[in-house]
Each structure stands twice: as C-alpha cells, then as structure tokens.
Chains A and B, each alone.
Chain A
Amino acid sequence: MTLDLLARRLRRELGDEAVITDPATRRTYDCDGLTAYRSTPGLVVLPADAAGVRASVRACRDAGVPFVARGSGTGLSAGALPEAEGLLIVTARMRRILEVDLANQRAVVEPGVINLAVSRAVGPAGYYYAPDPSSQQICSIGGNVAENSGGAHCVKYGFTVNHVTGLEVCTADGELVRLGAGRAAQAPGYDLTGVFVGSEGTLGIATKVWVRLLRSPESVCTILAAFRGIEQAGAAVSAIIAAGLRPAAAEIMDALAIGAAEAAVACGYPPGAGAVLIVELDGPAVEVEAEAAAVTALCGEAFEVRSATDPGRRAEIWRGRKSAFAAVGRISRDYIVQDGVIPRTALAEVLHEIEELAAAAGIRVANVFHAGDGNLHPLVLYDGQEPGALARAEEVSAAILDLCVKRGGSITGEHGVGVDKAAKLPLMFSPEDLATMQLVRCAFDADGRANPGKIFPTPRRCAERGGGAVAPGPRSGAGEASGATREGGTLRRPAERA
C-alpha cells in the first residue's frame, strides 16, 4: 500500500516513464553482478536528473521507505541489492557529462555516466580519467564513487577517492548538498567527500561528481614475462618494487587462469607458462624506456619476455588478462570470484597456502591478481550440479579471506563489503571500530533509509540530533532482512566484464 502511494507520487513528480511497477521488469533489477543474492525491488525509479533523485528520496522520507541506489549493476558484493519493500533508484538515465574543464583538469559528470565515457570524451585532447575497474566499459561513475573502485592501474594512480575532488549528494533527508573543493584542490572543513566515496550508498546518493583528469602519458610500455612458476613471477614483482620502479600496473595470472584465457580468446601467451606477469610502465618516454630496460632485467627468471609500446600490440598482451574472469567459465561450470588483499611481500606464501586449502577441499582455484598492491582475485571453481560442491567452494573462498586477515590484509580491495561480506567485517574491526564508523552514518542518515543492510553486520541506533533520545534503529541485518534469496544451484558470478 505504501509503495502504491509512493509510485503514484513519483509518477506525478517524475513522469510515468520514470517509474517501473511492472513485476517482470522490476525483477530484472533483482541483483547486481553478484547474482547469488536476489531480491526484487518493490518499486523502481529512473530519475532524469538530480532534482529527480531528490524528489524520489523525499518521497521515501515522507513514506518511511528505504531506498537503494543502483548504477549499472556491475557491483560484486551485492551492494546494490534492492529492498523488497523499498525503492530502487537507478541512475542509468543520468548520463550527461556536464562540464569538461581541461585547463583545470576536471570534469563534472552525472552518476550514471559510464566510466570509460569520461576518458573517451577527453582522450582526443590528451587527457584521461585514471580509475579503470575492469568493468569500465559498462560500470558507472556513481557506482565507482559508492564502491571506491580501483582497477589495474591503481597501484600507481590510486583509487576513485584520489580522483574525485567534489560531489553533489542527495542525503537521506532529500537535501542536495555540495561537498568538497570541486574545481579547486582543497576546501575548508571535514573531508566529507573522502568519507562518502566508498560508503557503498549508505550515506546518500551522489548526483554530481567532480573528477580529476590526468594528462595522458607520453609513452606506455607493456611487458609480458612468462615464468615456469608463480613464485618466480611474484619474486619478480618484489624485485621491481624494491628497485624503486613505479609500475602503472603489475598483474599476475597462474596456469589455470592462463589456460582459461587461451581457451576463451586465444591470447597466445608463451606455451608452458606456469605464470605470466604483465607490467605496464607509463610516463615521459625517456623514463619509460629506462624503466622498461630495468624491468626486463629484473625478470631474469622468465623464460620469455615480450614488450610492446604501440596500442595494438599492448592490447594483445592485455587481452588474456582482461578476459580472464569471464574465461574461467570455459573451464568450470561455476565459480566464485574472491577479492582479498595481503601485504604484497606475503604473496608467495599466501598463494602456497591457498593451493593447500584448495587441494585439501578437492577444489581448483585459479589465481588472477593485482600483484603490485597485493590484491588477490582467487577464482574458486566448482560444479553447482555436484552435491556439496558449492558448500566446499564457499568454505575455501571464506578460508581465503581468513588468510588475508591473518596476514594483516583486508577482506576486500575493490569489490566492497555490501551484503556479501558484512558478516566478515568483524574479522577486521572491533565492535568499537564499527560503532565509530556508524557515527558517520548516523550523521548522514539517522533513520537508516539509505541502502540498509549493507556493510555493517549489525545496525546502530542513532542518538537523535540535538538530544539524548534514541531514534528507532535501521532495519536489521544483512541478507535476510533485505529479502535476499540465495540461489545456490545457480551461484555463478560473471565477474569482470572487460
């Protein structure tokens, strides 16, 4: 009933075409890139602009209904899992690049703008937007802001948070607020932009994003080194970093991942490789030339080294890596994409431990990872039709995260906590830590209406503004409360879509 009234109000304020009530169409929004969690949104709205987002959020406020924001739906932690009794606000119609200011190296974009579209727009002028999650052809800037997305090149250039200089956000109260410096570098006050980026939609919805544009490097060199084993590849990365080089990317694939990529896209990596290392160097030509020579020398244990500077040949080297996640579907019916981080120097040991875990469980794990910053993406392979296989795969997947935490790492380097890892967050943080984080949430969204059930395993009751009274807490619990269903047999995660 509440949702019917809400739908009527939104139709009136945003127009019929912006509101979806039809059950079949709503069902197409029932999950993000992590399809294991599904929940059909009670109502879907596609605002055309910031005013439309504000109107939608205000309607939710007045009706006491939770809302979830969704960009392109490529997230991998069920961070955009809808609420069955709530509103899903989809930013897909907000795709305008509002301003390009090359003199100040900024663009102002709407949240639905596709990541790659920014670089495409400014590329001809010699600029680009640095964060490049592997879904960059379809993922949205708003989603990147929510998740603080990284990508292969963040080892040198940092994450979304390092490239967003200002925001306009719609708070859960339905106010549009400007945060951060925007075209300038520093604004007075708390860095609310910094804490909003990566808050997974729990502090409100970004309606405008000021992004930094970087000058395209004069030269880019991509090096592919093939090793007999993954330890040598890992050692080469350590040697490269120890030598003071700053690769723009350093990616490793193991034999299983290489095999999958060969089967899918015939990437033509050196036959017999137990691991390949892809190192990219960029910058002034004279520096890249020197660094490329140094990297090649440090890959002395490789049995074959290729390098390329022209875009076509570089893309050829990247092709196998970029297809790796999807390609794993060629060698396994089903798989889980894990995302964990370890100190880079622990790489060899942790990979060995993962291997042991997998062997003990009788499960295959393919490894594709951002070696430069210790961000592992183990792909846990299983056959969903085999009884018990999913459970074993999930156990291995969870044990890998435990390994990451034990090594002083993180349960997520770029996919976010969402619903999927909310229960794992206490592995890293004490109840006090989590309660402290939720103070921010209370400041932004005391009623817990923005993307409830994400990140935090237990919601916090917020002290009411300006008084000692306690407001009703947000809706309880991850997963179950958001009406998600786990569809075990179809647990297949088409992760990166490069």
Chain B
Amino acid sequence: MMIDLLVSAAGVARPAGPADTVGGRPARFVAAPGRPDQLAALLARCFSEGLTAVPRGDGSKLDWGAPPSTVDVLVDTARLAGVHDHPEGDLVVTVGAGTPLRAMQAVLGRSGERLALDPGSPEATVGGVLATGEAGPLAHTYGFPRDLLIGVEFARADGTLARAGGKVVKNVAGYDLGKLLCGSYGTLGVLTSATFRLHPLPVARSWLIRPVHRVGEAVELVAVLRDSPLAPAAVEVDLPPGNGGPVPRQRGGGPSGPATLAVLFEGSALGVPARCHAAAQLLGTEADELSIVDEAPDWWGRYPFGSGDVGLRLSVPPSELATAVLLLREEAGVPVPVRGSAGIGVLHAALPGTLPVPRLAEILATVRAGLAERDGWCVALCAPEPARGELDLWGPAPGLELMRRVKEQFDPRRLLSPGRFVGGI
C-alpha cells in the first residue's frame, strides 16, 4: 500500500481529507515528516514512485500561484518546526521551515531581536514566507526574504538533502541557493530549515499619518520622503476605491477612511519624535489633518484583497505608481482598492472575483502591457474559481528560458509543485 510506504518514509502520513487541497486541486495523501532525513526519504519515495509533491506550511498562501497540475502528496511541514539555534549576541537564528513566523518573533523578542520581516499573512510559517518571497512594510528598509536569509537546508526532488550559505552574515562561499529558493513556490525543493540575519528591536516606533486626496498627491509625497534624509523604516499608502466604499480586508478592521499615507519611523526615544515632526513639516498640510501615533493604522501591512477577490501585486518604479494605479482602475472600470509599500513601488490591489474570466484576462493583459513599458510587473497572487485555473496568473517573467532550465536541472521529472509557477513551471 502506498500509504504504508509514505508512513515508513515520513513517519507520519495519512490519506488526504476534503480540506487537503492546493488551489482547488485535491491531494491524495498528506505526509508530515518530522526530521530532515524523513523529508528526504519521503521525497525519494515520491521520486521513485513518480508522485507529485507540494509543500504546505500553515496553508495561508496555499491558494497563491497557479493550481498545481496534480497533488499526490501534500508535504506538511508542521513537524519541521522549532528554533534550532539562536546563539546569543550573534544576531542570527536557525529555525525549522515549519516554524510559525510569529512564534519565532516571540522567541527573538525576548532577546531584544527580530527578523525584520512583517509579511501580510500573520499565521505564515517561515517556509511559506520564503517559498512565496512574502514581505511587508519593512521591506522598505530591510528588503525581501532573500535579503535576510543567509543559509538554507532543503530536500531536492530526488530526496537529496542540500545546504547552501551558512550561519554567518558575511559569506561568499559557493552559490547562494537560498536566493533561488526564495519565491520559488516549492518548485525547486522543500525547505527543512533556514538561517536568517537578525536586527535589534527598535527602542521607539511611531507612525506619521497623513490623509491624501489624490493618488498623484500620495506619490508626490512619497517622492519627497524618499529624497529626504529622514530614513523612514517604511512608507505605506492605503488607497480605497474612488467611491469611498469599504476596503475588503484579509482580516478584521472597519471601513477605511480617505486615502492615507502612513510613514513608520524607528529609532531612539529622542530621535523618532524629532524625525516624525521633521517629516510632518516636510509633508506640510493643515496641522489638524496630520497625526503622529504609536500604533500602526489598522490597515497597515494587510492585503486589500479577500478570499473572493483576484489579489494583485504590482511592482513598479516608484515614480510610476500613480500611472500604474490609474491604469489599473481605468481598465478595471470597477472600484479597485489599492494598498502597499509605496516607498519601494510594491502595491497590492483587489479585483472582484465575480468579474467574468475573459474580462479579468483582458484587464491583466492591458495592465501588464502598460506596466511593461514602464519597467513594471503585475502578478495575480490569488484568484477564486474558475479564474484561478483559467487566467495566466503570473504573466511574463524576465529570463523565463533560464528559469525553465534551472527547473529542469533541479526537478527533471516535474514532481515538485508542477504548474504552480511562472510559465507553467
């Protein structure tokens, strides 16, 4: 029996239940290896049996990406969890791929440290964040997961365990395969553990909140901030749809007000208020409209799309932000909430999943063509049925032919998350 083979390899395995799906594709089995060698044995078994495997962390982004062609084995990473190594004072940590990010941050916080990564899916596991390359507002200063990851261990499609990078921040020995795995959606390997560089928790944090009335105004203010030496930690905008209606949320919160620019400052107890006030002067408007608060606005770092929406990510040069938003809204012809990291030109948006699929395809094609002229990209992160299976969620990718060759080397039999990634990879 297949299930017995999977149990003997992974330690824990069971037939899949109705909830065990990936992008609507039902899995046949669920296996939960508890150690790297069990993961390796599991993938080796899948390899020899020709079974497709898709890793799952918390499942918070399992509906992201295109649906895999088949899911024979859902590889649950929950038992590959835990803080393996957190040497005091070195500002690095090694954790199992199945570790919830939030739990890890709690451990680090006790030492006055953090991983400077605040993705929009708060329940996510480390492996899930890495596999999707998910980042939040702090990417403005600290970059994406690829910028903070310094070492990885993972299992290849044939079950070979491999490591790259290391446990020190500065290291140029060998190819940096961690970069390749970040944002690869489980198509090249399954992570067992990751090592990150950490940062000290800031002593003080404050948000400067400033209402804006036009998209163009928000973009101008972001440019002013970028050109200032005030060094904000993050610069976010919330651009509710033109009709002022409520913005769908991934979770919680009430209706949005007008469009808002929110700027996070982190630093010393004296420095943060001083920089907030300097920024307030710079962004000058009637004083009563500006506020400086110690809590993030409730929309901060949350996606503007929900489960019924087509969730978009636009990544454009910041100077093209206004054009990109207007292009999207004009083409969509329906209210489109937009929100995200204006300081680095990464925005998220929601299209109603109720639009007919050909209409959605048209919108995506027009927006992608318009952005391509401006060195920008538009990816549909997620979509409800039936759009999910019919749309080209990814669109064009630079260097796709080389990507295919990389995939072919790492997974020649196309067993790892087949079809989930760009260009059908």
Interface residues of A (CB under 8 A from B): 101-106, 126, 147-148, 150, 154-155, 158-159, 161-162, 166, 171, 177-192, 194-195, 197-199, 215-218, 238, 241-242, 244-246, 283-284, 286-287, 290-291, 341-345, 370, 373-375, 408-417, 421, 425, 428-430, 432-437, 439-444, 455, 462-463, 465-466
Q: Would A410 and B271 count as touching, CB distance under 8 A?
A: no
Asked if B237 is at the interface (CB within 8 A of a chain A CB), the reply is no
Complex partner residue of B169 from A166, A373, A430, CB under 8 angstroms = A373
Complex partner residue of B409 from A171, A373, A463, CB under 8 angstroms = A463
Asked if B183 is at the interface (CB within 8 A of a chain A CB), the reply is yes
Asked if B395 is at the interface (CB within 8 A of a chain A CB), the reply is yes
Q: Would A188 and B268 count as touching, CB distance under 8 A?
A: no
Complex partner residue of B166 from A161, A238, A408, CB under 8 angstroms = A408
Given A218-B229, A373-B169; A287-B179 close (CB under 8 Å): no
10 tightest A-B CB contacts, nearest first: A194-B179, A189-B397, A244-B200, A218-B229, A436-B162, A410-B171, A443-B405, A183-B317, A439-B409, A287-B271
Q: How far is the CB of B256 from chain A (nearest CB, A)?
A: 24
Q: Which A residues are CB-close (under 8 A) to B167?
A: 343, 408-409
Residue of A nearest to B180 (CB): A195
Q: Which B residues are CB-close (under 8 A) to A430?
A: 162-163
Q: Which B residues are CB-close (under 8 A) to A103?
A: 223, 317-319
Most chain-A CB neighbours within 10 Å: which of B169, B267, B410? B169
Main DSSP-derived SS at the B contact region: loop
Q: Which A residues are CB-close (under 8 A) to B315?
A: 181, 184-187
Q: Which A residues are CB-close (under 8 A) to B168?
A: 341-343, 373-374, 408-410, 413
Q: Would A184 and B316 count as touching, CB distance under 8 A?
A: yes
Residue of B nearest to A188 (CB): B397
Q: Which A residues are CB-close (under 8 A) to B173?
A: 410-412, 417, 421, 425, 428-429
Number of interface residues of B (CB under 8 A): 87
Q: Which B residues are CB-close (under 8 A) to A101?
A: 317, 319
Q: Which B residues are CB-close (under 8 A) to A104?
A: 317-319, 345
Q: How far is the CB of A400 from chain B (nearest CB, A)?
A: 15
Q: Would A185 and B344 count as touching, CB distance under 8 A?
A: yes
Complex partner residue of A463 from B229, B275, B412, B421, CB under 8 angstroms = B412
Q: Would B170 and A150 count as touching, CB distance under 8 A?
A: yes
Q: Would A343 and B90 count as touching, CB distance under 8 A?
A: yes
Residue of A nearest to B113 (CB): A244
Q: Would B375 and A194 count as touching, CB distance under 8 A?
A: no
Complex partner residue of A343 from B87, B143, B375, CB under 8 angstroms = B87
Give the docked Cα–Cα distance between A185 and B223 (Å). Answer: 16
Q: Would B275 and A413 count as touching, CB distance under 8 A?
A: no
**Contact sample, A vs B, 27 pairs, CB 8 Å cutoff:** A126-B229, A155-B169, A181-B315, A184-B375, A184-B377, A186-B346, A187-B377, A189-B394, A189-B423, A191-B180, A192-B180, A195-B176, A216-B229, A244-B203, A246-B200, A284-B230, A284-B267, A284-B274, A287-B271, A410-B166, A413-B171, A428-B174, A429-B174, A433-B162, A433-B174, A437-B162, A440-B406
Q: Would B170 and A375 count as touching, CB distance under 8 A?
A: yes
Q: Would A177 and B171 count as touching, CB distance under 8 A?
A: no
Q: How far is the CB of B341 from chain A (nearest CB, A)?
A: 8
Asked if B147 is at the interface (CB within 8 A of a chain A CB), the reply is yes
Q: Which A residues are CB-close (under 8 A) to B30?
A: none
Give the docked Cα–Cα distance between A345 and B92 (Å). Answer: 11
Q: Would A188 and B395 count as touching, CB distance under 8 A?
A: yes
Complex partner residue of A215 from B184, B227, B271, B422, CB under 8 angstroms = B227
In the complex, besides A177-B401, A184-B345, 13 extra interface pairs with C-beta distance below 8 angstroms are A150-B170, A150-B172, A158-B143, A181-B398, A186-B144, A190-B183, A194-B179, A194-B180, A218-B230, A241-B91, A408-B167, A435-B160, A441-B175
Q: Would A443 and B409 count as touching, CB distance under 8 A?
A: yes
Q: Which A residues are CB-close (under 8 A) to B258?
A: none
Give the docked Cα–Cα distance between A498 and B96 (Å). Answer: 42
Give the docked Cα–Cα distance between A194 and B402 (Å). Answer: 14
Q: Which B residues are CB-close (under 8 A) to A341?
A: 168, 170-171
Asked if B112 is at the interface (CB within 8 A of a chain A CB), the reply is yes
